[in-house]
């Protein structure tokens, strides 16, 4: 089975998909003059429909007392470059297409490119150094959807099967959200426009309340060439809420920064945005993950979990929402044995706004990555009007074990961080976001970095969609 899936996702088949989708682009260009109108990005020709979208993002970032006063460490050159000021930008055109095949559903596909750059000092974590510019393909996939074929038994669009470079996520991104880690020559570390897995095979089946995904995913070298296969089952409790169970096995992987991945079995049970009838404005979420197994690089025994509750004062001015979340990710107390107890955060990513799952714009982006840590988060968010959202988040970070990525520390207390942000939806196509953050080091961070100054950050990002 694994051989079959890898054959489907092989370079030769990828070339075929590329040719097919480039043909779609040509058709779109040829038909656009007859079918497109000003401001209309959709093209139609009989049973064929295609759309082109363009996304642009840009951001400016400034840190002071980087790494608690020690300075930015460039992982590319090994140099300490002091504080960091940098700029990121990207352009992402996307073409998607559908072709109706009568009562047998429809074929669909997508292709996109990303052009990105980073200038200045490079990001505060040292993953880029300000010289990066890169143009590469992002999406390149093709698939089939059942459409109305099973409408009487399973429902509309009940089954889909797809292959190629595409996005895939589970739940709110605690485990699987982002298939591409934007770093080194790719640039755009913070904006992170690249999200597609290198290769995928996805079978999705859904009814009104129950859904199942069967997936095979491959990542590139930024995620240690990880290949995995598994399934996700979920039951929708409401329009936005669900409970689910996930299992997958890592078939092959290079050894990772957090420890061995090869041979890992991952089990997860979760609840997302569960609403209780007796508390209409309260939402509950939580997830537990177990990682176990053994492979060529050693044994694995790790876990992680979180619980979160949110309450919205819907009758109050600005409809404020207050949230609390506790999360815990196991660490390894003894790195000399043959068992890795460091939780591997795998393909986590941002899915529902600030703090999910980059916990803290300083610690979560550049210092702690959901392994060997416990985090308390308190968030207050308000909406003065339909286009503006403002808020503040407090984080308390502690290490699970008395080491920071192998460096011994005298205390588990790592940092306290405050983020203050504003998100402005200017119109349907323009979006602006700004944030100020400050992190105060605990004894553990001071031991690990050798500095004890407050770490400051300012960032502003602009997005345009057409």
Within a domain: 414: no
Tokens 């992002």, residue located: 138
Q: Tokens 């429909």 belong to which residue?
A: 49
Instruction: Identify whether 229 is part of a domain.
Output: no
Q: What is the pLDDT of residues 440-450, one digit of tens each?
A: 999 999 999 99
Inside any domain, residue 298: no
352 in a structural domain:
no
Q: Is residue 117 one of the residues assigned to a domain?
A: yes
Query: What integer pLDDT is reported at residue 184 of this predicted model?
Result: 86
Q: The domain containing residue 140 runs over which residues?
A: 1-68+89-221
pLDDT, block means (10 residues), the chain with 466 residues: 44 45 45 45 95 97 98 93 98 98 97 97 96 96 97 94 98 95 92 97 95 96 91 90 97 83 96 87 97 90 98 96 99 90 95 92 98 99 98 99 96 99 97 98 98 98 96
Q: Residue 369 domain-assigned?
A: no
Count of beta carbons in the 10 Å neighbourhood of residue 276: 10
CA distance 32 to 45: 10
Tokens of 446: 């001071």
Q: What integer pLDDT is reported at residue 173 of this predicted model? A: 96
Give the tens place of pLDDT for each residue, 337-380: 889 999 999 999 988 889 999 999 999 999 999 999 999 999 99
In a domain, 420, yes or no: no
Number of domains comprising the chain: 1
* Residue 359 lies inside a defined structural domain of this protein: no
């Amino acid at each position: 089975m694994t051989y079959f899936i890898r054959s489907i996702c092989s370079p030769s088949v990828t070339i075929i998909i590329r040719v097919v989708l480039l043909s779609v682009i040509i058709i779109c260009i040829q038909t656009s003059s007859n079918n497109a109108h000003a401001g209309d990005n959709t093209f139609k020709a009989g049973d064929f429909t295609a759309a082109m979208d363009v996304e642009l993002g840009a951001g400016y970032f400034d840190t002071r007392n980087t790494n608690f006063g020690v300075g930015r460490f460039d992982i590319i050159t090994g140099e300490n470059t002091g504080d960091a000021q940098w700029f990121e930008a990207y352009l992402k055109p996307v073409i998607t297409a559908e072709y109706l095949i009568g009562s047998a559903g429809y074929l669909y596909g997508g292709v996109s490119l990303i052009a990105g750059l980073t200038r200045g000092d490079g990001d505060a974590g040292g993953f880029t150094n300000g010289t990066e510019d890169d143009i590469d393909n992002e999406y390149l996939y093709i698939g089939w959807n059942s459409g109305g074929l099973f409408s009487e038994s399973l429902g509309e669009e009940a089954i889909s099967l797809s292959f190629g470079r595409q996005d895939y996520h589970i739940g709110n991104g605690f485990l699987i959200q982002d298939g591409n880690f934007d770093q080194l020559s790719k640039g755009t570390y913070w904006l992170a426009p690249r999200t597609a897995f290198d290769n995928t095979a996805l079978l999705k089946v859904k009814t009104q309340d129950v859904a199942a995904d069967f997936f095979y995913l491959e990542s590139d070298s930024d995620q240690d060439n990880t290949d995995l296969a598994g399934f996700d089952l979920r039951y929708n409790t409401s329009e936005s809420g669900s409970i689910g169970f996930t299992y997958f096995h890592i078939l092959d992987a290079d050894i990772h920064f957090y420890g061995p991945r090869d041979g890992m079995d991952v089990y997860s049970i979760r609840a997302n945005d569960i609403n209780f009838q007796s508390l209409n404005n309260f939402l509950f979420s939580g997830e537990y993950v177990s990682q176990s197994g053994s492979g060529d690089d050693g044994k694995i025994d790790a876990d992680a979990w979180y619980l979160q509750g949110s309450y919205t004062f819907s009758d109050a001015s600005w409809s404020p929402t207050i949230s609390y979340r506790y999360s815990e990710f196991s660490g390894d107390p003894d790195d000399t044995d043959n068992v890795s107890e460091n939780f591997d955060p795998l393909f986590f990513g941002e899915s529902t706004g600030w703090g999910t799952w980059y916990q803290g714009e300083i610690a979560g982006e550049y210092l702690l990555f959901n392994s060997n840590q416990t985090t308390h988060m308190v968030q207050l968010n308000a909406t003065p009007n339909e286009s503006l959202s403002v808020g503040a988040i407090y984080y308390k970070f502690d290490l699970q074990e008395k080491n920071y990525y192998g460096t011994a520390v005298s205390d588990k207390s790592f940092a306290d961080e405050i983020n203050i942000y504003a998100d402005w939806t200017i119109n349907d196509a323009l979006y602006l976001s700004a944030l100020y953050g400050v992190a105060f080091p605990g004894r553990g961070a001071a031991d690990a970095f050798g500095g004890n100054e407050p770490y400051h950050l300012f960032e502003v990002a602009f997005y345009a969609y057409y």
